[in-house]
Amino acid sequence: MRAARQAVDLLLRAENTWRFEDPQHGLSDQEWMVLRFLARANSFSRSPSALAQFVGTTRSAVSQLLKGLEAKGYVERRPSVEDKRSVSLRVTPQGDKMLTRDPIGPLVNAISALELGANNFRDALRDVLGRLGTNQHRHHADNCGECIFLSSASDPAKGKAQMEFTCRFFRSGINSAEMDLLCFKFEQRRLDRAGG
């Protein structure tokens, strides 16, 4: 239990890389969160309502954050291809350039250099979040590969090596480039804990 408590203390110290009071490179911590999410979000998740759900705030508050990022030239709104009444958000090339200065960059580099490996660290954190249960924390986003809504089927026309992926929630195909992107409708597959 002592090591677990120390690990939590260390995670709280690491939080300083993504939560801060003074702007970093001209952006607040919430503006950075918005920019990061939109850069990593799949096409289903680039809407103001998905963004509000991810950030854990109201659509009105997200609207203000988006206005600030749009004024700085980092984000733009476009009419949605699927629903002309809604908009799709995207990071501009200027926003991509700003992301190279992201305050969490050193944290990403430190995790990448871990001796135990970034994959093992990621999997351990995913396991911890799974054990906490979704009722104890706000909705989170993750990639399609870990989601209960992902289905795959071989496409005979493309051979066994090619797989076609579908999101059962959105009832839409997912291309391989989007498999690693974040989705706001993510639901973790239930792991069998009987073995350990």
Residues forming a β-bridge with 78: 88
| Rg of the chain on CA atoms, in Å | 18
CA dist 159 and 177 (Å) reads 19
Two structure tokens written together for 16: 């300083």
pLDDT for 26: 94
Residues 6+ apart with CB under 8 A from 40: 181, 182
Average pLDDT of each block of 10 consecutive residues along the chain (196 residues)? 82 82 91 94 88 86 95 93 82 97 91 86 80 57 79 60 72 79 75 44
- The reply to whether 48 falls in a domain is yes
Q: Is 45 domain-assigned?
A: yes
**Is residue 75 included in any domain, yes or no?**
yes
Name the domain count of the chain.
Answer: 1
Q: What local confidence, expressed as pLDDT, does residue 193 receive?
A: 44
Q: Which residues contact 2 (CB under 8 A, 6 or more apart)?
A: none
26 within domain boundaries: yes
What's the confidence (pLDDT) of residue 157? 57
Residue 87 is part of a domain; what is its CATH number? 1.10.10.10
